[in-house]
Amino acid sequence: MEQISHSREQNNTPLWRSHIPKMAPTPAESGHPGTGEPPKSRRPFLTPEGISTSSTHQKGIDMEPQTTLSHYQIFNKVAETGNISCAAKELFISQPAISKAVKKLEAELNTTLFSRSSRGVRLTEEGKLLYEYTREAFRALSEGEVALRQFSRLGIGHIRIGVSTTLCKYLLLPYLKEFVAAHPHIRFTIQCQSSFQTMELLREGKVDIGLIGYPENLHGLSFFPIGEIEDVFVATKAYLENLSLREGLSPQGDELLLAGNLMLLDEKNITRLYIDNYLASHHIRTGQILEVSSMDLLIEFARTGLGIACVIKEFVQEDLADGQLSLLPLSSPVKKREVGFSFAKNHELPKSAQRFLTFVSERRDGTYPQC
Q: Is the pLDDT of residue 15 over 60?
A: no
CATH number, domain 155-228+338-364: 3.40.190.10
- In sequence order, the β-bridge partners of residue 289 are 262
Does position 301 have pLDDT exceeding 90, yes or no? yes
DSSP 18-64: ---PPPPPPPPP--STTT-PPPS----EEETTEEE-----STTSPPP
Residues 6+ apart with CB under 8 A from 236: 302, 303, 305, 324, 325, 326
Residue 176, pLDDT above cutoff 70 = yes
**In whole angstroms, what separates CA 157 from the centre of its chain?**
11
Mean pLDDT, rounded, for 276-292: 93
Distance CA 2, CA 319 (A): 12
Question: Are the C-beta atoms of residues 234 and 312 closer than 8 Å to each other?
Answer: no
Give the per-residue pLDDT at 51: 38
Secondary structure of residue 186 in the 3-state scheme: strand
pLDDT at 358: 92
Dihedral (Cα; 46, 48, 50, 54), 10-degree rounding = -60
For residue 370, is pLDDT > 80? no
Closest to 185 (Cα-Cα) out of 162, 208, 153: 153
State the span(s) of the chain assigned CATH 1.10.10.10.
67-152
- The answer to whether residues 338 and 312 touch, using CB atoms and an 8 Å cutoff, is no
Amino acid identity, residue 135? R
The confidence score (pLDDT) of residue 198 equals 95
Interval 28-48 mean pLDDT: 41
Regarding the domain delimited by 67-152, which CATH topology (the fold level of the hierarchy) does it fall under?
Arc Repressor Mutant, subunit A (1.10.10)
pLDDT of residue 44: 38
Is the separation of the CB atoms in 160 and 189 below 8 Å?
A: yes
Residues 145-169, mean pLDDT to the nearest whole number:
82
pLDDT at 45: 34
DSSP annotation of 229: E
Q: d(Cα 165, Cα 189) in Å, to the nearest integer?
A: 14
8 Å CB contact between 121 and 115: yes
> What three-state secondary structure class fits 343?
strand
- Report pLDDT for 253: 73
The string of pLDDT tens digits covering residues 20-35 is: 333 334 343 344 444 4
Among 100, 108, 103, which residue's Cα sits nearest to residue 43? 108
Longest dimension (CA), the chain: 114
Least confident of 78-92, 249-263, 341-355: 249-263
Confidence of residue 47 (pLDDT cuts 50, 70, 90): very low
The domain 231-335 is classified under which CATH number: 3.40.50.720, 3.50.50.60, 3.40.190.10, 3.40.50.300?
3.40.190.10
Q: Is 132 exposed, middle or buried (0-12, 13-18, 19+ CB in 10 A)?
A: exposed
Identify the pLDDT of residue 77.
92
CA angle 302, 311, 16 (to 5 degrees): 150
pLDDT digits 0-9 by tens, 235-266? 999 999 999 888 887 766 788 999 999 999 99
Domain with CATH 3.40.190.10 in the chain: 155-228+338-364, 231-335
**Per-residue pLDDT tens digits for 110-152:** 999 999 887 789 999 999 999 999 999 989 888 888 777 776 6
Q: With 70 as the cut, is the pLDDT of residue 306 above it?
A: yes
What pLDDT is stored for residue 29 in this prediction? Answer: 38
Tell me what the mean pLDDT of segment 340-344 comes to: 95
156 versus 71: which is more confidently predicted?
A: 71
pLDDT band at 154 (very low <50, low <70, confident <90, very high): low
Q: What is the structure's pLDDT at 251?
A: 62
Task: Average the pLDDT over 53-82 and give the result.
Answer: 65
Question: Residue 136's CB: how many other CB atoms inside 10 A?
Answer: 10
To the nearest whole number, what is the mean pLDDT of the chain?
A: 81
pLDDT at 172 > cutoff 70 = yes
- Residue 252: the pLDDT is 66
Handedness of CA 94, 97, 101, 106 (dihedral sign): positive
In residues, how long is the chain? 371
- What is the reported pLDDT for 163? 95
